[in-house]
Amino acid sequence: MKAELSSGLEAVIEALRIAGCRITPQRRAVLAELVEQRGHINPAELSEQVAEKLPGMNAATVYRTLWLLDELGILTHTHLEDGVMYHQSERADHVHLSCSRCGSSEVLEAKDLTPLARLMQQRHGFAPDFTHFAIGGVCARCRAAPEKMR
């Protein structure tokens, strides 16, 4: 059975062990913080949260652990205008609309893009993955802002 973050800390640690990863106290602290996360996982914010509990924590350990979990299929990542964001794999069925002006991000259900996916498949034989990259653009708030505010 594939481990998920929601399977809990010990299940995730077991999945990493099976994959041959060493579980250091630092890595355990990162994993403990991660299994508490329900929504989007911002690597910089996660680093700060872990560092609060484990002062002197190396941010590289956080980034490396996220990368490993991505390799194992427990997490997936999305590229936004302002960097990479992680999701639990079972919660990654949406597309981000990422504002190039203010960096805000809204979410669109992947199924709303089914007509576009079908068109790509028919015309190009291409099976798109809309969840890997955000769709860049300008959000409603920024579009409504007066010119001088931009």
Q: Does 101 bind Zn ion (CB under 5 A)?
A: yes
Listed ranges 13-21, 24-32, 101-109, 115-123: which one lies at the site for Zn ion (CB under 5 A): 101-109
d(CA 65, CA 74): 11
Listed ranges 12-20, 28-36, 60-68, 131-139: which one lies at the site for Zn ion (CB under 5 A): 131-139
Report, in Å, the least distance between residue 23 CB and Zn ion: 26
Give the count of residues interacting with Zn ion (CB under 5 A): 6
Q: What is the 3-state secondary structure (H, E, C) of 31-83?
A: HHHHCCCCCCECHHHHHHHHHHHCCCCCHHHHHHHHHHHHHCCCEEEEEECCE
Listed ranges 16-24, 25-33, 96-104, 109-117: which one lies at the site for Zn ion (CB under 5 A): 96-104
* DSSP-assigned letter for residue 133: B
Nearer Cβ to Zn ion (68/142): 142
The correct pick among 46, 99, 130, 134 for binding Zn ion (CB under 5 A) is: 99
d(CA 66, CA 73): 11
Structure tokens at 14: 């077991």
Residues that bind Zn ion (CB under 5 A): 99, 101-102, 104, 139, 142
